[in-house]
Amino acid sequence: MEHTIAAHEEHSGGGVKEIVKVTIILSVLTVVELALGFWMMSMPLESGLRLAVKGAIVILMLAKAFYIVGYFMHLKHEVKNLIMTIVVPLCLFIWFIIAFLYDGNSFKNLRNTYDPYKKEMSTIKVEKKEVKHEEKKTEAAPVEEKKVVE
């Protein structure tokens, strides 16, 4: 058996060089995300470009999650079955969240459509009545004093 540094690095997954490489990749992804986020803050709210930037940030976050899980949680070198036991439930969980949010939103919209008396308060616009301070004083009835007769 040969115990050399190269054999040990091959067995342990690459050593310091690989960790430095992954750290630099994660740092670059983080800086790009921050730059996109600050750029997005100056865009108009209803812009299609703003939505595209949000999508790019989500893709960059998923790439960072891949590197973190793959290298720092040592799943890059694991057996495929072990990886599938983590990935498949995660995908199902994300699908359930999306399905429940969609279903809840459709229920809210249907309830507002078929039963207008149960309309949610967030969709009803209430007008504010502006009453001036002087008008309030004149509208108030003066209190009369009653004389007590003995």
* pLDDT single digits (tens) 53-106: 999 999 999 889 888 888 877 777 777 777 788 888 989 999 998 888 888 777
* pLDDT single digits (tens) 33-53: 999 999 999 888 888 899 899
Q: What is the CA radius of gyration of the chain?
A: 32
Contact 28, 20 (CB under 8 A): no
Top pLDDT among 136 and 33 is at 33
CA–CA gap between residue 70 and residue 65 (Å, rounded): 8
Q: Is the pLDDT of residue 144 over 60?
A: no
CA–CA gap between residue 66 and residue 22 (Å, rounded): 11
CA–CA gap between residue 68 and residue 85 (Å, rounded): 17
